[in-house]
Amino acid sequence: MNRLVVISNRVGPLNDEGKAGGLAVGLADALRQRGGVWFGWSGKTGEDGTFGPLQIKTEGEVQLITLDMTQADVADFYNGFANQALWPVLHYRMDLAGYDRRFSEAFWRINERIAARLAPLLKQDDLVWVQDYHFAPLGSQIRASGFSGALGYFLHVPFPPPEVLTALPDAHRLVRSMLAYDVIGFQTVTDRDNFARFVAGEIGGRVLEGGWIEASGRRVRADVFPIGIDAERFAAFAATAEARRRYAQLRTELHDRKQIIGVDRLDYTKGIPERLSAFERLLKDYPENRNKVSFLQIAPLSRENVKAYARLRRELEELAGHINGTYGLLDWTPVRVMTRGFSRKGLSGLYRASDVGLVTPLRDGMNLVAKEYVAAQDPENPGVLILSRFAGAARELSEALIVNPYDNAEMTEALQLALRMPLGERKERWQALNETVRKGNSRRWCGLFLDALEATHAQRRLKFLDESEGGASAKTELARLRRAAGVPPWGELKPFRGRHVRL
């Protein structure tokens, strides 16, 4: 089995039962199985930044290798370009994007530096897998360093339509650089199709059958790999002592009231103010819910150095204060907003204790909270998931109550429906949801992507051998690669006829 090399902004944890999220679990599993390297930013700053020493930790067959950044790198690359320019545009929020040439220069420079530090560690038969928007162009720089092995990329956040992405001055350069990968993975068909439209309409490429895209003399496979969680483990968390303690704490404090829960990083893409307004309207339009339903929003702070995030925090505090001031009683606080983190076990107890999971982002690549809420439910008395149609997860979790988070009245009606849903219907919906969440788990996500990467890379090698003179050893190699690829030989690809715009 070839060694796996993963590059992501933050690295690990590899073995932290209670804390690792879906992404870390899926990757850690694959890394442990194959052995490999997990490479990224240490999360710390140092004077030498990316020129400083590599920090190497070895756990079994896996090396965790990190680098510091300078304070200026964090300001310009991480807070600047990645989180003030790319993040909003990728989430369709051109209005919030802050673009600065200095940020952009830092972005390309840091990607180049990371590739330069990584290159000496790579072997030609490694499977190299780059993660997320911070490192979209890393592949082209890894190729420039001479690496010709299997190189894949997964985008965890949405890929917007070209009409939106072109607002980013670096958009063309960015997409062209992504063509260096063998496989580009997206969360949903919409994201993949938006990418294909950009390639076809903006940089003169062609979209071929079978997820292949061709531009600038390169062929890349762009496909859909919806990320999942470790559903089994998450369900088991809900039965641990820690989860039961949190469950009991919350239920005791509620008395007989019902609980609605929201869990999100404090981010404007998550639609938290819209959610609070829908709850306020529930209390106004359906007064029978007053003193009968509470709303808990867990929203750990993130990216506090970016202005839009500080504004959002103030907005939330004002909204919660307003609702509590209007409807609160001496013994009932309608809304609680908590910014602290919880262990994953604790979180599973809170999900299970909640009658409604309100997951209503304005735009989200996938949204793992929706899947965690489902996995943590009591099969005999499951809660109801309300899910935004703009979360990638809505494609798979269609038995949830699907809402448009911009439609305040619809969200309110969904809340009223969820709070009154009979047990039979709750069970029926949950069973279907749970099956989907269990089947599409993080191991499957990782396995499908790596299989596609191996097959695609084998195909590329095949094409190369086909075209070369090739003696007996090349023929044997060709046969081996054909088996590994398991896909029609290169020459059989047919032009794609407009199927990519699937609305």
List residues with catalytic annotation. 156, 364
Mapping DSSP to helix (H, G, I), strand (E, B) and coil, where does residue 441 land?
coil
Q: Whose Cβ is closer to ligand ADQ: residue 164's or residue 478's?
A: 164
Residues 20-59 that bind ligand ADQ (CB under 6 A): 21-23
Token pair, residue 339, equals: 């910014």
DSSP letter assigned to residue 391: B
Helix intervals (H) in 328-471: 344-352, 368-375, 408-420, 423-439, 442-467
Q: Rule CB under 6 A: is residue 122 a binding residue for ligand ADQ?
A: no
Q: Whose Cβ is closer to ligand ADQ: residue 200's or residue 266's?
A: 266
Q: Rule CB under 6 A: is residue 443 a binding residue for ligand ADQ?
A: no
Mapping DSSP to helix (H, G, I), strand (E, B) and coil, where does residue 134 land?
helix
Cβ-Cβ contacts under 8 Å for 408 (sequence gap 6 or more)? 274, 277, 278, 281
Q: Whose Cβ is closer to ligand ADQ: residue 169's or residue 300's?
A: 300
User: Least distance from C-beta 225 to ligand ADQ, angstroms?
Assistant: 10
CA R_g for the chain: 24
* Strand extents, DSSP E, 289-411: 293-298, 335-338, 356-359, 384-388, 401-403
Listed ranges 98-106, 362-370, 398-406, 482-490: which one lies at the site for ligand ADQ (CB under 6 A): 362-370
Q: Rule CB under 6 A: is residue 156 a binding residue for ligand ADQ?
A: yes
Token pair, residue 450, equals: 């790596």
User: Least distance from C-beta 359 to ligand ADQ, angstroms?
Assistant: 8
Listed ranges 15-23, 250-258, 283-291, 455-463: which one lies at the site for ligand ADQ (CB under 6 A): 15-23
Residues 55-94 that bind ligand ADQ (CB under 6 A): none
Mapping DSSP to helix (H, G, I), strand (E, B) and coil, where does residue 410 land?
helix
Q: Whose Cβ is closer to ligand ADQ: residue 363's or residue 461's?
A: 363
Cβ-Cβ contacts under 8 Å for 47 (sequence gap 6 or more)? 70
Q: Whose Cβ is closer to ligand ADQ: residue 22's or residue 80's?
A: 22
Number of residues that bind ligand ADQ (CB under 6 A): 20
Q: Whose Cβ is closer to ligand ADQ: residue 270's or residue 460's?
A: 270
Displacement of CA 188 from its chain's centroid (Å): 11
User: Least distance from C-beta 191 to ligand ADQ, angstroms?
Assistant: 11
User: Least distance from C-beta 183 to ligand ADQ, angstroms?
Assistant: 16
Q: Rule CB under 6 A: is residue 227 a binding residue for ligand ADQ?
A: yes
Give the C-alpha separation, 361 to 263, whole Å.
Answer: 11
Q: Rule CB under 6 A: is residue 364 a binding residue for ligand ADQ?
A: yes
Q: Rule CB under 6 A: is residue 153 a binding residue for ligand ADQ?
A: no
Nearest to 283 by CA among 412, 420, 403: 412
| CB 320 within 8 Å of CB 335 | yes
Nearest to 70 by CA among 44, 101, 102: 44
Please write down the HEC assignment for all residues of 32-54: HHHCEEEEEEEEEECCCHHHCCC
Binding mask 370-389 for ligand ADQ (x = CB under 6 A): --x-----------------
Listed ranges 167-175, 235-243, 244-252, 358-366: which one lies at the site for ligand ADQ (CB under 6 A): 358-366
Binding mask 300-319 for ligand ADQ (x = CB under 6 A): x-------------------
Give the C-alpha separation, 116 to 78, whole Å.
Answer: 19
User: Least distance from C-beta 342 to ligand ADQ, angstroms?
Assistant: 4
User: Least distance from C-beta 317 to ligand ADQ, angstroms?
Assistant: 17
Give the C-alpha separation, 49 to 51, whole Å.
Answer: 5
Give the C-alpha separation, 73 to 118, whole Å.
Answer: 18
Q: Rule CB under 6 A: is residue 143 a binding residue for ligand ADQ?
A: no
DSSP letter assigned to residue 66: E
| CB 359 within 8 Å of CB 369 | yes
Give the C-alpha separation, 248 to 89, whole Å.
Answer: 42
User: Least distance from C-beta 267 to ligand ADQ, angstroms?
Assistant: 6
Listed ranges 26-34, 367-375, 422-430, 464-472: which one lies at the site for ligand ADQ (CB under 6 A): 367-375
Q: Whose Cβ is closer to ligand ADQ: residue 27's or residue 411's?
A: 27
Give the C-alpha separation, 442 to 450, whole Å.
Answer: 12
Residues 229-268 that bind ligand ADQ (CB under 6 A): 263, 265
Give the C-alpha separation, 271 to 245, whole Å.
Answer: 29
Token pair, residue 299, equals: 């929203």
Q: Rule CB under 6 A: is residue 341 a binding residue for ligand ADQ?
A: yes
Listed ranges 59-67, 71-79, 339-347, 374-382: which one lies at the site for ligand ADQ (CB under 6 A): 339-347
Q: Whose Cβ is closer to ligand ADQ: residue 251's or residue 265's?
A: 265
Q: Whose Cβ is closer to ligand ADQ: residue 249's or residue 416's?
A: 249
Residue 72 to residues 55, 81, 99, 103, 168, Cα–Cα distance (Å): 20, 12, 16, 10, 22
Q: Rule CB under 6 A: is residue 366 a binding residue for ligand ADQ?
A: yes
* Interface ranges with ligand ADQ (CB under 6 A): 21-23, 156-157, 227, 263, 265, 298, 300, 341-342, 347, 364-369, 372
